[in-house]
Structure 1
Amino acid sequence: MTDTSDQLLVEEFEQLAAFAEREIETVRLEFLGGRLGLRKATNGNHGTVVMRLVHEWMQARPEFGLYPARGLKVEAHGQGRVLPDGALAPVGHFAGHGDWSDPDGVLMTVEVTSHDSYTHHRDRVEKRQAYGEAGIPFYLLIDRDESTVALYSEPDPRIGYRHARRVAFGAKLLLPEPLGIELDTEKLKQYVD
Structure 2
Amino acid sequence: MSQLITYGFFGEDIAQRTFLAYYLEQIQPSTFLENEEFRWRVKVQNRDQVDARLPEALLQKAKFGLDVLFVGRDIDTAHHPTILDRREQFASICQNHHPVVLMLPVQCIEHWFWYIKRKHEEPGKRSLLEPLLRNDAKQAIYGDIKSGEKRIEKIKELLTDFDVDWLEQRSESFRHFHHQVKALIGQ
Check whether TM > 0.5: no
TM-score by length of structure 2 reads: 0.34
RCO higher in structure (CA 8 A, sep ≥6): 2
Structure with the higher fraction of residues in helix conformation: 2
TM-score by length of structure 1 reads: 0.33
